[in-house]
Structure 1
Amino acid sequence: MCLETGDSGRDATPLYKDPDLLAHVYAGPYPIADPGLTWVAYDDQGLLGYIVATADTAAFEQWQEEAWWPGLRTRYLRRSAADPGDGTEDWRCIAHIHEPPRTPAGLLEAHPAHLHIDILPRGQGSGLGRRLITTLTDALRARGVPGLHLGVGSGNPRAFAFYLAMGFHEERRAPWGSTMTMDLRA
């Protein structure tokens, strides 16, 4: 599913030789590191969507460095983190595995939690995204987490509008897209 929505909500299958790479970075570690913050939705056709999150991004990034990235760094060698010039994007995920970006401390002070959500096209616009985010924010509030953040790519204006409607605010804009935040104390 991560691959089927990995191109700003569109199918990224043509962009990746290794279909597991996106999930290794953006989905797989969350249920292991913070298992109480993962929900999966199904319909009669099978998997429909999911939301994964962590309540403490700083601790999650440290856990990844100690427990998640080492095995992937062995599997995906650093020399593969260069653009082969063939239009594929595997190299970007491999570069991320070897040099994961750190979330700025200033963002984490008020918004320590973060999420990733993916919903297949047949489930988009059905209210599933709203239900998943509401379930997550309720769980984070129950833990006393003050705020939540996420990144949305500039190529996904529909998702950007959805997050605004859910109560997120654009915190920062960059060439890749926007960092959005939600205050959970209200």
Structure 2
Amino acid sequence: MPRTIRPFHPSDLGAIYRICLLTGHAGGDSSHLYRNPDLLAHLYAGPYPVADPGMTFVVADDEGIAGYIVATADSAGFERWREEHWWPVLREQYPLVEDPKNGTEDHVLVGRIHETWDDLPVYAEYPAHMHIDLLPRVQGQGLGRQLIETLAVALRERGVRGLHLGVSLENPGAIAFYHRVGFETLETRDWGLLLGLRLE
């Protein structure tokens, strides 16, 4: 089955939303956690290709889109863009709600939509950040590494010197993968690790 990595096309956005949900629980299916299937991608996938389509790449095969990498070259600028263009509509659409105590986590994501996302010190040396997700059918074939290498080329062309990401401690496979492709641990947080890759 031929698989290609290509730049984002607007028709890919629906598939990116689905893949984000299907890989959102430490790499596994998070559908059981969210009554609204779009919330996770509203935070961690959707705004990136809307803000800067040139920083998103997808894995395509004859079944459709099977994976993606979404990124921004300028995390501080991206947060300002989200505050002005992305969050206002979503904050109006999704008012804050209490925990329904039924095992779902929509309220957690809605709370994040209403947060102010401040600049972080890591932006100085690693201004870009990314999210990457692959469906099981294309995992273990080197495509994750190829996506990161493709993104790194695009970032270098813009003169970006560093790339960072966060990864949960509940996903040791992802941590090992990122270390294999050159990321270093920058900080340990209560939620996981902050990793960085120098591009210079």
- Shorter-chain TM range is over 0.9
* CA distance in structure 1 between the partners assigned to 2:119 and 2:181 by the alignment: 22
* CA distance in structure 2 between the partners assigned to 1:177 and 1:69 by the alignment: 25
Structure 2: give runs of 5+ residues left out of the alignment: 1-18
1:107 maps to a residue whose letter is: V
* CA distance in structure 2 between the partners assigned to 1:103 and 1:4 by the alignment: 29
2:177 maps to a residue whose letter is: F
* Corresponding position: 1:54 with 2:72: yes
Q: Find the partner of 1:159 among 162, 174, 194.
A: 174
Q: How many residues are aligned here?
A: 182
* CA distance in structure 1 between the partners assigned to 2:83 and 2:72 by the alignment: 15
Match of 1:8 in 2: 26
* CA distance in structure 2 between the partners assigned to 1:176 and 1:101 by the alignment: 16
* Corresponding position: 1:180 with 2:198: no
Q: Find the partner of 1:70 among 88, 92, 102.
A: 88
* CA distance in structure 1 between the partners assigned to 2:64 and 2:54 by the alignment: 22
State the secondary structure of the residue aligned to 1:2.
helix
> What TM-score do you get using the length of structure 2 for normalisation?
0.88
Query: Cα deviations across residues 37-60 of structure 1 (Å, max 9, x unaligned)?
Result: 011112222221000100000000
Identity within the alignment, %: 55
Query: Cα deviations across residues 115-172 of structure 1 (Å, max 9, x unaligned)?
Result: 0111011111111101100000011011100100001111110000000001000111
Structure 1: give runs of 5+ residues left out of the alignment: none
Match of 1:87 in 2: 103
Match of 2:13 in 1: none
Query: Cα deviations across residues 62-103 of structure 1 (Å, max 9, x unaligned)?
Result: 00000000000011002x2x3222111111110110004324
Match of 2:47 in 1: 29
* CA distance in structure 1 between the partners assigned to 2:26 and 2:65 by the alignment: 19
Tell whether the 8 Å contact from 2:43 to 2:113 is kept in structure 1 after alignment: yes
State the secondary structure of the residue aligned to 1:141.
helix
> What TM-score do you get using the length of structure 1 for normalisation?
0.95
State the secondary structure of the residue aligned to 2:148.
helix
In structure 2, the CA distance between the partners of 1:100 and 1:14, relative to structure 1 (3 Å rule), is: farther
Q: Provide runs of 4+ in structure 1 moved above 3 Å.
A: none
